[in-house]
């Protein structure tokens, strides 16, 4: 599925006619005529994701008119929906961005490759890629780069070399996530227990690096045993696969004391432990509203409830740094401003300094330390550190972006 939004000036009747023709003869590409450069954003969910226009655009915007695309290997889970909304919001700050595309590889590597190739062939100037398939995406990434597109893979590594195979790689310190989660888990369990780690697709660098951090942290707690598949249980970041993995672990292990997970909300939301008549284990992972709300419900009902958890921000804002780099490189902008994220308590976190290509995460919740968030306005799948407003989160979770 490809979603394409193009800004076309009202004074150009010919451009409008061409846009109309593209709707008729290219049914997989939806094109919208627009009356101003930022109108592409207004055509997405009624413009709810559009940033407020600034008197002076951010310096990363540059000056060249360009189109931007987000090429997802998989787009249909809540994390991806909120991430897509954050990407739209970031790109909409630039009046010189005249078009937006979003593709969904649907978890199929060949489709993801085809999507990326199609964007490059159409001449999209700035392409941000979430390469779920990892190095399998490198040939397509390289081809798009060689065709002249600015290509910025982010979060998952594809191999290759910056400047030769792609423009810039934007990463995050996933190893530190693993260290944070592993240390919290070891301490919370008093140094002894069975703990599983549920990651993403097989071989993804994101989960491999987190697994390395978890292993490092567990060296401080020799009584902690990692159970299940190593270095991580493969779930493809798919809620149904998270549920299947947990059900399998429950059938194999009479005692599961802790679960660490990338798509961690599935540990609670799946109801697998409840259906098995087992108590929820301690959980460490990426933030989701389900944790704080479940913690509140259980502890309101029973002050002695054993359920505890910790989360790092789920980093839907990671895509903002990737979008900035892609636009700056394609439109002659400057990466001279930090990326600052405000958490639900109003605390500001500088997650990327000027000109850096990697974000630093922050611990958002620790129920044992008394820091939990439950936003009654949002569903369980929402994240509280997404960098979006409640209204934007709700709109994103409707899908169709």
User: pLDDT tens-digit profile of 302-354?
Assistant: 999 999 999 999 999 999 999 999 999 999 999 999 999 999 999 999 999 99
What distance in Å separates the CA atoms of residue 265 and residue 370, rounded to the nearest whole number?
19
Phi, then psi, of 291 in degrees rounded to 5: -70, -55
pLDDT at residue 8 tops 50:
no
Which runs of consecutive H residues, i.e. helices, occur in 219-372? Answer: 239-252, 265-269, 272-275, 289-301, 318-331
Report CA Rg, the chain: 21
Among 173, 226, 235, 178, CA closest to 201: 235
- What is the helix, strand, coil percentage profile of the chain, to 5? 40, 20, 45
pLDDT digits (tens, 9 = 90+) for 143-201: 999 999 999 999 999 999 999 999 999 999 999 999 999 999 999 999 999 999 999 99
Q: State yes or no: cis peptide before 231, omega within 30 of 0.
A: yes
pLDDT of the residue at 1:
74
> What pLDDT digit, counting tens, does each position of 366-401 carry?
999 999 999 999 999 999 999 999 999 999 999 989
Q: What percent of the chain is predicted at pLDDT more than 90?
A: 87
Rounded Cα–Cα distance for residues 184 and 170 (Å): 27
- Sign, CA dihedral 228-234-239-240, equals negative
Give the N- to C-terminal CA distance of the chain in Å, as an integer: 10
Rounded Cα distance, 215 and 195, in Å: 11
Q: Are 248 and 227 in contact (CB under 8 A)?
A: no
* Cα–Cα distance, 198 to 177 (Å, whole number): 13
Close Cβ partners of 110 (under 8 Å, ≥ 6 residues apart): none
Mean per-residue pLDDT over the chain, rounded: 91
Measured distance CA(339)–CA(177) in Å, rounded: 19
Looking only at the bridges linking them, the beta strands covering 2-6 and 97-104 are antiparallel
pTM for the model stands at 0.88
**3-state secondary structure (DSSP) of residue 286:** strand
Task: Please state, in angstroms and as integers, the Cα–Cα distance from residue 386 to each residue in 174, 319, 342, following that order.
Answer: 17, 11, 9
| Contact status, residue 100 vs residue 40, Cβ threshold 8 Å | yes
- Please name the helix (run of DSSP H) or strand (run of DSSP E) that holds residue 2, with its range, or none: strand 2-6
Number of H-type helices and E-type strands within the chain: 13, 15
Q: What is the mean pLDDT of residues 215-231?
A: 97
């Amino acid at each position: 599925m490809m979603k394409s939004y193009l800004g076309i000036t009202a004074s150009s009747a010919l451009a409008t006619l061409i846009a109309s023709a593209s709707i008729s003869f290219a049914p997989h590409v939806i094109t919208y005529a627009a009356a101003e450069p930022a109108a592409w954003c207004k055509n997405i969910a009624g413009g709810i994701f559009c940033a407020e226009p600034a008197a002076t655009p951010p310096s990363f915007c540059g000056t060249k008119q360009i189109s931007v695309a987000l090429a997802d290997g998989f787009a249909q889970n809540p994390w991806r929906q909120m991430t897509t909304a954050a990407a739209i919001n970031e790109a909409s700050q630039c009046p010189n961005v005249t078009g937006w595309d979003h593709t969904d590889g649907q978890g199929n590597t060949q489709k993801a490759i085809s999507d990326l190739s199609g964007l490059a062939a159409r001449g999209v100037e700035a392409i941000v890629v979430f390469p779920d398939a990892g190095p399998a995406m490198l040939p397509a990434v390289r081809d798009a780069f060689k065709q002249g597109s600015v290509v910025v893979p982010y979060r998952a590594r594809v191999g290759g070399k910056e400047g030769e195979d792609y423009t810039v790689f934007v990463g995050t310190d996933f190893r530190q996530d693993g260290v944070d989660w592993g240390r919290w888990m070891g301490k919370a369990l008093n140094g002894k227990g069975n703990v599983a780690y549920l990651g993403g697709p097989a071989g993804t660098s994101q989960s491999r690096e987190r697994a390395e951090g978890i292993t490092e942290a567990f060296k401080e707690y020799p009584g902690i045993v990692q159970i299940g598949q190593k270095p991580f249980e493969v779930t493809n970041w798919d809620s149904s696969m998270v549920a299947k993995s947990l059900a399998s672990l429950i059938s194999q292990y009479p005692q599961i004391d802790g679960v660490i997970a990338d798509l961690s909300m599935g540990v609670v939301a799946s109801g697998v432990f409840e259906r098995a008549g087992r108590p929820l284990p301690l959980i460490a992972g990426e933030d989701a509203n389900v944790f704080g709300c479940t913690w509140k419900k259980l502890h309101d009902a029973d002050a002695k409830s054993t359920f505890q958890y910790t989360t790092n921000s789920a980093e839907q804002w990671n895509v903002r740094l990737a979008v900035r780099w892609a636009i700056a490189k394609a439109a002659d902008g400057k990466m001279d401003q930090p990326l600052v994220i405000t958490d639900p308590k109003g605390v500001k976190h500088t997650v990327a300094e000027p000109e850096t290509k990697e974000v630093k995460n922050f611990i958002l919740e620790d129920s044992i330390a008394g820091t939990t968030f439950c936003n009654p306005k949002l569903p369980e799948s929402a994240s509280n550190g997404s960098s979006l407003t409640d209204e934007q989160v709700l709109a994103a979770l409707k899908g169709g972006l």
